[in-house]
Amino acid sequence: MGYQYILFHKPYNVLSQFSDGSTPAAADASHRLTLKDFIALADVYPVGRLDRDSEGLMLLTDHGQVQHRLSDPRFAHPRTYWVQVEHLPLAPALAQLCQGVTIKGYRTRPCQAKLLPVEPDLPPREPPIRDRRSIPTAWIELTLHEGKNRQVRRMTAAVGHPTLRLVRVAIAHLELGNLQPGQWRPVTSIERQRLLRL
């Protein structure tokens, strides 16, 4: 049997792992959703992760070489996010994101950042983001070639636009597409061929 490659739409408030890491007594008291609640396949593991409060595309596989290649910072590959932020980012803030910002003593690599002209067509988040009518929001598209812990949130905060909602929509050529939160599918043969060429 060949390797498995799975695309999953991780919902908000789900851990990017198959165990919640709690003790049995604590697990009984407050179960935290994990990948196990959505994916009943053996021996597939996430390539990278999304924070519990982030949503969107994850790749899972049992192919160790692909997992290593996509996780190792030396083999940078693009990851694209749609980010809802507070206020309307102006050109200087977007330029600053593109050039790199300093967060926790680390200078981020140059990336692509653009304002989305309309709100993207995404399923509603449960629970919805806090609505503050006095503070407008906007959506930006960020494409990074690195993946530090909570990097997107820290980048937008550094330029004065805190993140309200964060959805990963692409990993290299793999796209979220029409997958709904909690749904998964195997990669297509074309996606697989391109994945093995990375």
Annotated catalytic residues are 51
Signed CA dihedral, 112, 94, 110, 125: sign only: negative
Q: How far is CA 83 from CA 31, 66, 75, in A?
A: 28, 27, 24
Query: How would you classify the pairing of strands 55-61 and 163-171?
Result: parallel
Alpha-carbon span 167 to 152, nearest angstrom: 10
Distance of CA 129 to the CA centre of its chain: 17
Q: How far is CA 4 from CA 14, 89, 138, in A?
A: 22, 40, 37
**Within 13 Å and on the Cβ side, how many CA atoms surround 130?**
7
